[in-house]
Structure 1
Amino acid sequence: MWINGTEQPTLLASDRATQFGDGCFTTAAIRHGAVQLLEAHLRRLREGCARLMMPPVDWARLESEMRAAAQPHAQGVLKVIISAGAGGRGYSRRGVSAATRIVSVSPWPVHYQPLRAQGVRLQTSPVRLAQNPLLAGIKHLNRLEQVLIRAHLDQSDADEALVLDTVGAVVECCAANLFWRQGENVFTPDLSQAGVDGVMRRHLMAQMAAAGQICHVVRAEAAQLLAADEIVICNALMPLLPVRQLDDRLFSARALYHRLQDSCYLMEAK
Protein backbone atom coordinates (compact mmCIF):
# COMPACT_ATOMS: atom_id res chain seq x y z
CA MET A 1 0.00 0.00 0.00
CA TRP A 2 1.23 3.49 -0.88
CA ILE A 3 0.10 6.53 1.11
CA ASN A 4 0.94 9.85 -0.53
CA GLY A 5 3.52 8.04 -2.63
CA THR A 6 5.30 6.27 0.23
CA GLU A 7 5.00 2.51 0.64
CA GLN A 8 3.70 1.89 4.17
CA PRO A 9 1.13 -0.39 5.81
CA THR A 10 -0.67 2.03 8.15
CA LEU A 11 -2.83 5.13 8.00
CA LEU A 12 -3.00 7.79 10.70
CA ALA A 13 -5.94 7.23 13.04
CA SER A 14 -6.63 10.97 12.71
CA ASP A 15 -7.21 10.66 8.96
CA ARG A 16 -10.72 11.69 8.01
CA ALA A 17 -11.25 8.45 6.10
CA THR A 18 -10.97 6.66 9.44
CA GLN A 19 -12.79 9.27 11.48
CA PHE A 20 -15.75 10.01 9.20
CA GLY A 21 -15.50 8.05 5.94
CA ASP A 22 -14.71 11.46 4.43
CA GLY A 23 -13.61 10.70 0.90
CA CYS A 24 -14.19 8.63 -2.21
CA PHE A 25 -12.60 5.67 -3.98
CA THR A 26 -12.42 3.65 -7.16
CA THR A 27 -11.47 0.06 -8.00
CA ALA A 28 -9.83 -0.70 -11.34
CA ALA A 29 -8.64 -3.76 -13.22
CA ILE A 30 -4.94 -4.23 -13.93
CA ARG A 31 -4.05 -6.11 -17.10
CA HIS A 32 -0.58 -6.51 -18.58
CA GLY A 33 0.81 -3.87 -16.24
CA ALA A 34 -1.73 -1.20 -17.17
CA VAL A 35 -4.78 0.24 -15.41
CA GLN A 36 -7.86 -0.45 -17.51
CA LEU A 37 -10.03 2.63 -18.23
CA LEU A 38 -7.53 4.76 -16.32
CA GLU A 39 -8.82 8.10 -17.62
CA ALA A 40 -12.40 7.14 -16.75
CA HIS A 41 -11.43 6.21 -13.20
CA LEU A 42 -9.53 9.47 -12.73
CA ARG A 43 -12.46 11.43 -14.15
CA ARG A 44 -14.87 9.85 -11.70
CA LEU A 45 -12.50 10.46 -8.78
CA ARG A 46 -12.32 14.12 -9.80
CA GLU A 47 -16.10 14.33 -9.95
CA GLY A 48 -16.44 12.69 -6.53
CA CYS A 49 -13.88 15.00 -4.94
CA ALA A 50 -15.59 18.04 -6.44
CA ARG A 51 -19.00 16.93 -5.17
CA LEU A 52 -17.56 16.34 -1.68
CA MET A 53 -15.72 19.70 -1.74
CA MET A 54 -12.48 17.91 -0.92
CA PRO A 55 -9.11 19.58 -0.24
CA PRO A 56 -6.70 19.80 -3.20
CA VAL A 57 -5.50 16.56 -4.81
CA ASP A 58 -2.26 16.28 -6.78
CA TRP A 59 -3.84 14.53 -9.77
CA ALA A 60 -0.67 14.24 -11.83
CA ARG A 61 1.13 12.55 -8.96
CA LEU A 62 -1.83 10.24 -8.32
CA GLU A 63 -1.91 9.13 -11.96
CA SER A 64 1.82 8.43 -11.81
CA GLU A 65 1.36 6.41 -8.61
CA MET A 66 -1.46 4.38 -10.17
CA ARG A 67 0.63 3.57 -13.23
CA ALA A 68 3.65 2.64 -11.12
CA ALA A 69 1.59 0.38 -8.81
CA ALA A 70 0.05 -1.46 -11.78
CA GLN A 71 3.22 -1.87 -13.85
CA PRO A 72 4.67 -5.01 -12.15
CA HIS A 73 1.41 -6.98 -12.40
CA ALA A 74 0.10 -9.03 -15.30
CA GLN A 75 -3.31 -9.06 -13.60
CA GLY A 76 -4.68 -7.60 -10.39
CA VAL A 77 -6.99 -5.12 -8.70
CA LEU A 78 -5.96 -1.52 -8.10
CA LYS A 79 -7.83 0.42 -5.43
CA VAL A 80 -7.48 4.18 -4.98
CA ILE A 81 -8.85 6.01 -1.96
CA ILE A 82 -8.86 9.79 -1.71
CA SER A 83 -9.55 10.97 1.82
CA ALA A 84 -9.97 14.55 2.96
CA GLY A 85 -6.68 14.24 4.85
CA ALA A 86 -5.76 14.26 8.52
CA GLY A 87 -6.81 16.85 11.05
CA GLY A 88 -9.64 19.24 11.57
CA ARG A 89 -11.82 19.57 14.63
CA GLY A 90 -14.91 17.38 14.69
CA TYR A 91 -16.65 17.45 11.33
CA SER A 92 -14.88 20.64 10.26
CA ARG A 93 -12.06 20.38 7.70
CA ARG A 94 -10.49 23.63 8.85
CA GLY A 95 -6.77 23.11 9.18
CA VAL A 96 -6.65 20.31 6.58
CA SER A 97 -4.42 21.48 3.73
CA ALA A 98 -4.37 18.51 1.35
CA ALA A 99 -6.09 15.23 0.61
CA THR A 100 -4.57 11.83 1.36
CA ARG A 101 -3.84 9.53 -1.59
CA ILE A 102 -3.99 5.78 -0.87
CA VAL A 103 -3.12 3.28 -3.60
CA SER A 104 -3.13 -0.51 -3.12
CA VAL A 105 -3.00 -3.66 -5.25
CA SER A 106 -4.70 -6.97 -4.48
CA PRO A 107 -5.00 -10.33 -6.30
CA TRP A 108 -7.43 -10.82 -9.16
CA PRO A 109 -10.81 -12.34 -8.11
CA VAL A 110 -11.13 -15.77 -9.70
CA HIS A 111 -14.87 -16.29 -9.26
CA TYR A 112 -15.98 -14.08 -12.15
CA GLN A 113 -14.70 -16.43 -14.85
CA PRO A 114 -17.09 -19.36 -14.13
CA LEU A 115 -19.99 -16.92 -13.73
CA ARG A 116 -19.52 -15.81 -17.33
CA ALA A 117 -20.46 -19.30 -18.45
CA GLN A 118 -23.10 -20.27 -15.88
CA GLY A 119 -24.64 -16.86 -15.21
CA VAL A 120 -25.35 -15.01 -11.98
CA ARG A 121 -28.08 -15.73 -9.50
CA LEU A 122 -29.56 -12.52 -8.05
CA GLN A 123 -31.59 -12.31 -4.86
CA THR A 124 -33.54 -9.22 -3.85
CA SER A 125 -31.93 -7.73 -0.76
CA PRO A 126 -33.98 -6.85 2.33
CA VAL A 127 -31.65 -3.85 2.80
CA ARG A 128 -32.88 -0.71 1.04
CA LEU A 129 -30.71 2.22 -0.04
CA ALA A 130 -31.62 5.62 1.36
CA GLN A 131 -32.37 8.31 -1.19
CA ASN A 132 -29.84 11.14 -1.08
CA PRO A 133 -29.39 13.13 -4.31
CA LEU A 134 -26.45 15.04 -2.79
CA LEU A 135 -24.35 11.84 -2.69
CA ALA A 136 -26.08 9.75 -5.37
CA GLY A 137 -23.84 8.53 -8.16
CA ILE A 138 -20.46 8.98 -6.47
CA LYS A 139 -18.43 6.20 -4.88
CA HIS A 140 -17.92 7.74 -1.45
CA LEU A 141 -16.35 5.96 1.53
CA ASN A 142 -19.60 5.53 3.46
CA ARG A 143 -20.41 1.93 2.48
CA LEU A 144 -22.34 0.64 5.51
CA GLU A 145 -25.42 -0.03 3.39
CA GLN A 146 -23.33 -2.23 1.11
CA VAL A 147 -21.73 -3.97 4.10
CA LEU A 148 -25.22 -4.89 5.36
CA ILE A 149 -26.34 -5.97 1.89
CA ARG A 150 -23.28 -8.21 1.63
CA ALA A 151 -23.88 -9.63 5.13
CA HIS A 152 -27.39 -10.73 4.11
CA LEU A 153 -26.09 -12.02 0.78
CA ASP A 154 -23.46 -14.13 2.53
CA GLN A 155 -26.27 -15.94 4.36
CA SER A 156 -27.78 -17.04 1.04
CA ASP A 157 -26.60 -19.10 -1.93
CA ALA A 158 -27.05 -16.21 -4.38
CA ASP A 159 -24.11 -14.66 -6.22
CA GLU A 160 -25.25 -11.03 -6.04
CA ALA A 161 -28.07 -8.91 -4.67
CA LEU A 162 -30.70 -6.84 -6.40
CA VAL A 163 -30.90 -3.63 -4.38
CA LEU A 164 -33.88 -1.27 -4.22
CA ASP A 165 -34.17 2.13 -2.62
CA THR A 166 -36.50 3.04 0.24
CA VAL A 167 -39.41 3.75 -2.14
CA GLY A 168 -38.98 0.46 -3.99
CA ALA A 169 -37.15 1.63 -7.11
CA VAL A 170 -34.45 -0.59 -8.61
CA VAL A 171 -30.99 0.92 -8.08
CA GLU A 172 -28.11 -1.54 -8.52
CA CYS A 173 -26.49 -4.67 -7.13
CA CYS A 174 -24.29 -4.85 -4.05
CA ALA A 175 -21.12 -4.30 -6.10
CA ALA A 176 -22.36 -3.88 -9.66
CA ASN A 177 -24.61 -1.89 -11.94
CA LEU A 178 -27.25 -3.50 -14.10
CA PHE A 179 -29.02 -3.31 -17.46
CA TRP A 180 -32.03 -5.20 -18.73
CA ARG A 181 -33.60 -5.83 -22.11
CA GLN A 182 -37.27 -5.99 -23.03
CA GLY A 183 -37.56 -6.84 -26.71
CA GLU A 184 -35.20 -4.44 -28.48
CA ASN A 185 -35.32 -1.86 -25.70
CA VAL A 186 -32.47 -1.61 -23.18
CA PHE A 187 -32.87 -0.03 -19.73
CA THR A 188 -30.71 0.93 -16.76
CA PRO A 189 -31.79 2.44 -13.42
CA ASP A 190 -31.90 6.16 -12.78
CA LEU A 191 -29.18 6.83 -10.18
CA SER A 192 -30.10 10.42 -9.37
CA GLN A 193 -31.41 9.50 -5.92
CA ALA A 194 -29.15 6.61 -4.82
CA GLY A 195 -26.48 4.23 -6.06
CA VAL A 196 -23.07 4.38 -7.74
CA ASP A 197 -22.59 5.47 -11.33
CA GLY A 198 -19.94 2.88 -12.14
CA VAL A 199 -17.09 3.31 -14.62
CA MET A 200 -18.13 0.18 -16.55
CA ARG A 201 -21.76 1.36 -16.62
CA ARG A 202 -20.61 4.61 -18.20
CA HIS A 203 -18.37 2.73 -20.64
CA LEU A 204 -21.16 0.42 -21.79
CA MET A 205 -23.64 3.28 -22.16
CA ALA A 206 -21.11 5.13 -24.32
CA GLN A 207 -20.57 2.01 -26.43
CA MET A 208 -24.32 1.60 -26.91
CA ALA A 209 -24.71 5.25 -27.90
CA ALA A 210 -21.88 4.93 -30.42
CA ALA A 211 -23.62 1.90 -31.92
CA GLY A 212 -26.94 3.74 -32.18
CA GLN A 213 -28.56 1.77 -29.35
CA ILE A 214 -30.69 3.89 -27.04
CA CYS A 215 -30.31 2.99 -23.37
CA HIS A 216 -33.31 4.22 -21.43
CA VAL A 217 -32.50 5.54 -17.94
CA VAL A 218 -35.62 4.86 -15.90
CA ARG A 219 -37.18 4.64 -12.47
CA ALA A 220 -38.39 1.05 -12.33
CA GLU A 221 -39.75 -1.40 -9.81
CA ALA A 222 -38.54 -4.97 -9.39
CA ALA A 223 -41.60 -6.25 -11.31
CA GLN A 224 -40.19 -4.70 -14.48
CA LEU A 225 -36.97 -6.70 -14.12
CA LEU A 226 -38.96 -9.88 -13.50
CA ALA A 227 -40.82 -9.21 -16.76
CA ALA A 228 -37.60 -8.56 -18.72
CA ASP A 229 -36.23 -10.84 -21.40
CA GLU A 230 -32.68 -10.52 -20.10
CA ILE A 231 -30.58 -8.92 -17.35
CA VAL A 232 -26.84 -8.28 -17.26
CA ILE A 233 -24.67 -6.82 -14.50
CA CYS A 234 -21.32 -5.06 -14.71
CA ASN A 235 -18.44 -3.48 -12.86
CA ALA A 236 -14.82 -2.65 -13.66
CA LEU A 237 -13.64 -6.14 -12.66
CA MET A 238 -16.37 -8.49 -13.91
CA PRO A 239 -16.64 -6.60 -16.33
CA LEU A 240 -19.97 -8.00 -17.66
CA LEU A 241 -21.95 -11.04 -16.49
CA PRO A 242 -25.28 -12.54 -17.62
CA VAL A 243 -28.02 -13.14 -15.05
CA ARG A 244 -29.55 -16.61 -15.03
CA GLN A 245 -31.97 -16.10 -12.14
CA LEU A 246 -33.61 -13.30 -10.17
CA ASP A 247 -35.36 -14.67 -7.10
CA ASP A 248 -37.60 -17.42 -8.60
CA ARG A 249 -37.52 -16.12 -12.19
CA LEU A 250 -35.14 -17.87 -14.63
CA PHE A 251 -33.49 -16.21 -17.62
CA SER A 252 -31.87 -17.95 -20.58
CA ALA A 253 -31.59 -15.22 -23.25
CA ARG A 254 -28.15 -13.67 -23.76
CA ALA A 255 -28.60 -11.41 -26.76
CA LEU A 256 -27.71 -8.23 -24.85
CA TYR A 257 -24.81 -9.96 -23.11
CA HIS A 258 -23.31 -11.06 -26.42
CA ARG A 259 -23.95 -7.63 -27.94
CA LEU A 260 -22.06 -5.84 -25.14
CA GLN A 261 -19.35 -8.30 -24.21
CA ASP A 262 -17.01 -7.51 -27.09
CA SER A 263 -16.43 -3.96 -25.84
CA CYS A 264 -15.52 -5.40 -22.41
CA TYR A 265 -13.40 -8.39 -23.32
CA LEU A 266 -11.58 -6.79 -26.24
CA MET A 267 -10.62 -4.10 -23.75
CA GLU A 268 -9.23 -6.83 -21.46
CA ALA A 269 -7.04 -8.17 -24.26
CA LYS A 270 -5.20 -4.88 -24.80
Structure 2
Amino acid sequence: MTGRLLVDGAPAAQVSALDRGLAYGDGLFESIRFVGATAPLWPRHMQRLLDGCARLRIPAPDPAQLWREALEVSRGMAASVLRITITRGLGERGYGLPASPRPTRVVAAFVPPSVAGEVYAQGVRMRVCNIRLAEQPLLAGIKHLNRLEQVLARAEWSDPAVAEGVLLDSHGRVISATMANLFALVEGTWLTPALDRCGVAGVARAEVLAACPQMRVGELTLAELRGADEVFLSSSVRGIVPVRSLDDCDYAPGAMSRHMQQHWRELGFSMEQGG
Protein backbone atom coordinates (compact mmCIF):
# COMPACT_ATOMS: atom_id res chain seq x y z
CA MET A 1 0.00 0.00 0.00
CA THR A 2 1.43 3.36 -1.02
CA GLY A 3 0.56 6.76 0.34
CA ARG A 4 1.90 10.19 1.09
CA LEU A 5 3.70 10.33 4.44
CA LEU A 6 5.16 12.86 6.84
CA VAL A 7 7.26 11.75 9.81
CA ASP A 8 7.59 14.50 12.41
CA GLY A 9 6.55 16.96 9.72
CA ALA A 10 9.07 15.91 7.06
CA PRO A 11 8.52 13.69 3.99
CA ALA A 12 9.73 10.20 4.93
CA ALA A 13 8.64 6.58 4.80
CA GLN A 14 10.60 5.13 7.74
CA VAL A 15 10.90 5.48 11.50
CA SER A 16 13.80 4.37 13.66
CA ALA A 17 14.12 0.69 14.50
CA LEU A 18 14.49 1.86 18.11
CA ASP A 19 11.08 3.55 18.15
CA ARG A 20 8.93 2.25 21.01
CA GLY A 21 5.95 2.04 18.67
CA LEU A 22 7.79 -0.67 16.76
CA ALA A 23 9.40 -2.31 19.79
CA TYR A 24 6.37 -2.44 22.09
CA GLY A 25 3.32 -1.12 20.25
CA ASP A 26 3.69 1.88 22.55
CA GLY A 27 1.38 4.37 20.87
CA LEU A 28 -1.95 5.18 19.29
CA PHE A 29 -3.45 5.78 15.86
CA GLU A 30 -6.48 7.27 14.17
CA SER A 31 -7.89 6.47 10.71
CA ILE A 32 -9.79 9.53 9.50
CA ARG A 33 -11.98 9.80 6.41
CA PHE A 34 -11.42 13.00 4.41
CA VAL A 35 -13.66 14.32 1.66
CA GLY A 36 -11.46 16.78 -0.20
CA ALA A 37 -10.15 19.12 2.48
CA THR A 38 -12.86 18.35 5.04
CA ALA A 39 -13.08 15.68 7.73
CA PRO A 40 -16.57 15.69 9.28
CA LEU A 41 -15.54 13.51 12.24
CA TRP A 42 -12.21 15.27 12.93
CA PRO A 43 -13.23 16.64 16.36
CA ARG A 44 -14.25 13.17 17.56
CA HIS A 45 -10.96 11.69 16.32
CA MET A 46 -8.95 14.38 18.07
CA GLN A 47 -10.84 13.87 21.32
CA ARG A 48 -10.18 10.13 21.28
CA LEU A 49 -6.52 10.66 20.38
CA LEU A 50 -5.99 13.16 23.20
CA ASP A 51 -7.84 10.94 25.66
CA GLY A 52 -5.67 8.00 24.63
CA CYS A 53 -2.48 10.00 25.01
CA ALA A 54 -3.53 11.05 28.50
CA ARG A 55 -4.30 7.45 29.46
CA LEU A 56 -0.97 6.17 28.12
CA ARG A 57 0.94 9.17 29.48
CA ILE A 58 2.24 10.13 26.04
CA PRO A 59 2.71 13.90 25.49
CA ALA A 60 -0.23 14.94 23.33
CA PRO A 61 0.30 16.29 19.81
CA ASP A 62 -0.99 19.71 18.75
CA PRO A 63 -4.29 19.17 16.86
CA ALA A 64 -3.67 22.32 14.80
CA GLN A 65 -0.33 20.95 13.65
CA LEU A 66 -1.92 17.59 12.81
CA TRP A 67 -4.57 19.39 10.78
CA ARG A 68 -1.97 21.30 8.76
CA GLU A 69 -0.05 18.11 8.05
CA ALA A 70 -3.24 16.23 7.17
CA LEU A 71 -4.12 18.88 4.59
CA GLU A 72 -0.59 18.71 3.20
CA VAL A 73 -0.54 14.95 2.62
CA SER A 74 -4.12 14.84 1.27
CA ARG A 75 -3.81 17.86 -1.03
CA GLY A 76 -5.39 17.21 -4.41
CA MET A 77 -7.11 13.98 -3.37
CA ALA A 78 -10.89 13.98 -3.86
CA ALA A 79 -11.21 11.47 -1.04
CA SER A 80 -8.66 9.96 1.31
CA VAL A 81 -8.11 8.09 4.54
CA LEU A 82 -5.67 9.81 6.89
CA ARG A 83 -3.77 7.67 9.34
CA ILE A 84 -2.24 9.56 12.23
CA THR A 85 0.16 7.50 14.35
CA ILE A 86 1.63 8.78 17.60
CA THR A 87 4.30 6.72 19.39
CA ARG A 88 6.24 7.46 22.56
CA GLY A 89 9.30 7.83 20.35
CA LEU A 90 12.83 6.56 20.89
CA GLY A 91 13.81 4.96 24.16
CA GLU A 92 16.33 2.77 25.89
CA ARG A 93 15.82 -0.98 25.95
CA GLY A 94 13.28 -2.13 28.51
CA TYR A 95 9.74 -1.29 29.45
CA GLY A 96 10.54 1.69 31.66
CA LEU A 97 9.19 5.00 30.35
CA PRO A 98 11.73 7.51 29.00
CA ALA A 99 12.29 10.34 31.45
CA SER A 100 11.71 12.95 28.72
CA PRO A 101 9.80 11.28 25.89
CA ARG A 102 9.84 12.85 22.42
CA PRO A 103 6.87 11.30 20.57
CA THR A 104 7.10 10.27 16.95
CA ARG A 105 4.34 11.66 14.73
CA VAL A 106 3.38 9.99 11.43
CA VAL A 107 0.69 11.48 9.19
CA ALA A 108 -0.15 9.55 6.03
CA ALA A 109 -2.84 9.78 3.36
CA PHE A 110 -4.16 6.79 1.39
CA VAL A 111 -6.79 6.21 -1.26
CA PRO A 112 -9.98 4.99 0.50
CA PRO A 113 -10.96 1.33 0.21
CA SER A 114 -13.37 0.64 -2.61
CA VAL A 115 -16.76 -0.54 -1.34
CA ALA A 116 -19.40 -1.71 -3.83
CA GLY A 117 -22.74 0.05 -3.72
CA GLU A 118 -24.49 -3.27 -3.18
CA VAL A 119 -22.71 -3.61 0.17
CA TYR A 120 -24.52 -0.52 1.44
CA ALA A 121 -27.77 -1.62 -0.19
CA GLN A 122 -27.86 -5.31 0.77
CA GLY A 123 -25.39 -5.66 3.64
CA VAL A 124 -22.45 -7.94 4.42
CA ARG A 125 -22.09 -11.52 5.60
CA MET A 126 -20.36 -12.16 8.93
CA ARG A 127 -19.05 -15.06 10.99
CA VAL A 128 -18.27 -15.53 14.67
CA CYS A 129 -14.52 -15.51 15.33
CA ASN A 130 -12.85 -18.12 17.52
CA ILE A 131 -10.34 -15.78 19.13
CA ARG A 132 -11.55 -13.96 22.24
CA LEU A 133 -10.63 -10.40 23.18
CA ALA A 134 -8.62 -10.08 26.37
CA GLU A 135 -10.03 -7.73 28.99
CA GLN A 136 -7.92 -4.76 30.08
CA PRO A 137 -9.99 -1.79 31.27
CA LEU A 138 -7.01 0.60 31.14
CA LEU A 139 -6.72 0.07 27.37
CA ALA A 140 -10.42 -0.45 26.60
CA GLY A 141 -11.90 2.02 24.16
CA ILE A 142 -8.67 3.62 22.90
CA LYS A 143 -7.09 2.81 19.55
CA HIS A 144 -3.66 1.64 20.70
CA LEU A 145 -1.14 0.20 18.26
CA ASN A 146 -1.45 -3.46 19.32
CA ARG A 147 -4.04 -4.91 16.93
CA LEU A 148 -2.80 -8.52 17.04
CA GLU A 149 -6.16 -9.85 18.23
CA GLN A 150 -7.84 -8.31 15.19
CA VAL A 151 -5.08 -9.54 12.87
CA LEU A 152 -5.46 -13.11 14.11
CA ALA A 153 -9.25 -12.89 14.01
CA ARG A 154 -9.18 -11.78 10.38
CA ALA A 155 -6.79 -14.66 9.57
CA GLU A 156 -9.48 -17.17 10.57
CA TRP A 157 -11.24 -17.07 7.22
CA SER A 158 -10.44 -16.55 3.55
CA ASP A 159 -13.92 -16.81 2.03
CA PRO A 160 -14.41 -13.58 0.02
CA ALA A 161 -18.15 -13.83 0.59
CA VAL A 162 -17.61 -13.20 4.33
CA ALA A 163 -16.70 -9.57 4.93
CA GLU A 164 -16.47 -9.36 8.72
CA GLY A 165 -16.20 -11.32 11.95
CA VAL A 166 -17.88 -10.89 15.31
CA LEU A 167 -15.50 -10.65 18.26
CA LEU A 168 -16.47 -11.85 21.74
CA ASP A 169 -14.74 -11.31 25.06
CA SER A 170 -13.52 -14.10 27.34
CA HIS A 171 -16.99 -14.38 28.88
CA GLY A 172 -18.68 -14.84 25.49
CA ARG A 173 -20.18 -11.34 25.35
CA VAL A 174 -20.38 -9.63 21.95
CA ILE A 175 -17.93 -6.71 21.68
CA SER A 176 -17.57 -5.64 18.04
CA ALA A 177 -16.59 -6.64 14.53
CA THR A 178 -12.90 -6.84 13.64
CA MET A 179 -12.89 -3.38 12.01
CA ALA A 180 -16.16 -1.81 13.12
CA ASN A 181 -18.58 -1.35 15.97
CA LEU A 182 -21.90 -3.13 16.00
CA PHE A 183 -25.54 -2.20 16.68
CA ALA A 184 -28.44 -4.67 16.99
CA LEU A 185 -32.20 -4.36 17.38
CA VAL A 186 -33.13 -6.87 20.09
CA GLU A 187 -36.79 -7.26 21.06
CA GLY A 188 -37.57 -3.68 20.14
CA THR A 189 -34.47 -2.14 21.79
CA TRP A 190 -31.37 -0.93 20.00
CA LEU A 191 -28.17 -2.12 21.69
CA THR A 192 -24.46 -1.56 21.16
CA PRO A 193 -21.97 -3.42 23.36
CA ALA A 194 -20.34 -1.69 26.33
CA LEU A 195 -16.61 -1.19 25.78
CA ASP A 196 -15.34 -0.61 29.31
CA ARG A 197 -13.41 -3.92 29.44
CA CYS A 198 -12.08 -4.30 25.88
CA GLY A 199 -12.71 -3.19 22.32
CA VAL A 200 -12.34 0.12 20.48
CA ALA A 201 -14.85 2.93 21.01
CA GLY A 202 -15.17 4.08 17.42
CA VAL A 203 -15.85 7.69 16.51
CA ALA A 204 -18.56 6.52 14.11
CA ARG A 205 -20.14 4.67 17.05
CA ALA A 206 -20.04 7.92 19.03
CA GLU A 207 -21.74 9.72 16.14
CA VAL A 208 -24.51 7.11 15.99
CA LEU A 209 -25.06 7.34 19.74
CA ALA A 210 -25.27 11.14 19.53
CA ALA A 211 -27.68 11.06 16.60
CA CYS A 212 -29.93 8.36 18.08
CA PRO A 213 -30.63 8.86 21.80
CA GLN A 214 -32.74 5.70 21.82
CA MET A 215 -29.59 3.58 21.42
CA ARG A 216 -28.64 1.77 24.63
CA VAL A 217 -25.10 0.79 25.62
CA GLY A 218 -24.98 -2.49 27.50
CA GLU A 219 -24.30 -6.20 27.45
CA LEU A 220 -25.14 -8.05 24.23
CA THR A 221 -25.06 -11.83 24.15
CA LEU A 222 -24.38 -13.92 21.08
CA ALA A 223 -27.85 -15.47 21.37
CA GLU A 224 -29.40 -12.00 21.35
CA LEU A 225 -27.35 -11.00 18.34
CA ARG A 226 -28.36 -14.14 16.47
CA GLY A 227 -32.02 -13.40 17.20
CA ALA A 228 -31.85 -9.68 16.36
CA ASP A 229 -34.30 -8.10 13.94
CA GLU A 230 -31.73 -5.74 12.40
CA VAL A 231 -27.96 -5.36 12.66
CA PHE A 232 -25.56 -2.79 11.23
CA LEU A 233 -21.90 -1.86 11.54
CA SER A 234 -20.40 1.59 12.00
CA SER A 235 -16.94 2.62 10.82
CA SER A 236 -15.35 6.03 10.36
CA VAL A 237 -13.82 4.81 7.09
CA ARG A 238 -16.69 2.78 5.60
CA GLY A 239 -19.65 4.45 7.26
CA ILE A 240 -22.87 2.55 7.99
CA VAL A 241 -22.98 -1.00 6.63
CA PRO A 242 -26.00 -3.28 7.16
CA VAL A 243 -25.44 -6.92 8.10
CA ARG A 244 -27.30 -9.47 5.98
CA SER A 245 -26.20 -12.63 7.78
CA LEU A 246 -24.21 -14.02 10.71
CA ASP A 247 -23.25 -17.63 10.04
CA ASP A 248 -26.67 -19.24 9.42
CA CYS A 249 -28.76 -16.32 10.76
CA ASP A 250 -30.24 -13.94 8.18
CA TYR A 251 -31.16 -10.27 8.59
CA ALA A 252 -32.52 -7.56 6.32
CA PRO A 253 -31.44 -3.90 6.21
CA GLY A 254 -34.09 -1.96 8.10
CA ALA A 255 -35.26 1.54 8.88
CA MET A 256 -32.45 2.42 11.30
CA SER A 257 -29.70 1.30 8.91
CA ARG A 258 -31.22 3.48 6.18
CA HIS A 259 -31.71 6.40 8.59
CA MET A 260 -28.07 6.32 9.66
CA GLN A 261 -26.86 5.94 6.07
CA GLN A 262 -28.78 9.12 5.25
CA HIS A 263 -27.21 10.79 8.29
CA TRP A 264 -23.78 9.87 6.89
CA ARG A 265 -24.64 11.46 3.56
CA GLU A 266 -25.77 14.60 5.35
CA LEU A 267 -22.41 14.74 7.14
CA GLY A 268 -20.81 14.90 3.68
CA PHE A 269 -19.71 11.31 3.14
CA SER A 270 -20.42 9.22 0.07
CA MET A 271 -22.12 5.87 0.62
CA GLU A 272 -20.88 4.42 -2.64
CA GLN A 273 -17.10 4.41 -2.27
CA GLY A 274 -16.30 3.79 1.34
CA GLY A 275 -18.79 5.80 3.40
> What TM-score do the two structures reach when normalised by structure 1?
0.93
- Aligned runs of 1:119-138 on 2, under 5 Å? 119-138=123-142
Judge which range, 107-116 or 157-166, deviates more. Answer: 107-116
- Computed over aligned residues only, the root mean square deviation of the Cα atoms, in angstroms, reads 1.6
Q: Distance in 1 between matches of 2:269 and 2:145?
A: 31
Alignment partner, residue 42 of structure 1: 46
Q: How many corresponding residue pairs?
A: 266
- Aligned runs of 1:56-95 on 2, under 5 Å? 56-95=60-99
Q: Distance in 1 between matches of 2:254 and 2:239?
A: 15
Query: Residues 88 and 95 of structure 1 are in contact (CA less than 8 Å); yes or no, is this contact kept in structure 2?
Result: no
Q: Distance in 1 between matches of 2:107 and 2:116?
A: 23
Matched, 1:178 2:192: no
Gaps of 5+ in 2: 271-275
Gaps of 5+ in 1: none
Q: How many angstroms does 1:112 deviate by?
A: 5.0
User: What do residues 135-177 of structure 1 show as CA deviations (whole Å, max 9, x unaligned)?
Assistant: 1000000110011011113357411001101110000000000
Which of 178, 189, 196 is matched with 1:192 structurally?
196
Alignment partner, residue 240 of structure 1: 240
Q: How many angstroms does 1:56 deviate by?
A: 4.3
Q: How many angstroms does 1:269 deviate by?
A: 4.7
Q: In the superposition, relative to structure 1, how do residues 253 and 58 fare at CA in structure 2: closer, same or farther (>3 Å)? A: closer
Alignment partner, residue 55 of structure 1: 59
Alignment partner, residue 108 of structure 1: 112
User: What do residues 202-232 of structure 1 show as CA deviations (whole Å, max 9, x unaligned)?
Assistant: 01100112xxxx2111112100011110000
Q: In the superposition, relative to structure 1, how do residues 190 and 65 fare at CA in structure 2: closer, same or farther (>3 Å)? A: same
Provide the secondary structure at the position in 2 that maps to 1:188: strand
Q: How many angstroms does 1:76 deviate by?
A: 1.4
Moved over 6 A (4+): none
Alignment partner, residue 265 of structure 1: 265
Alignment partner, residue 15 of structure 1: 19
Percent pairwise identity:
35
Alignment partner, residue 256 of structure 2: 256
Query: Residues 126 and 163 of structure 2 are in contact (CA less than 8 Å); yes or no, is this contact kept in structure 1?
Result: yes
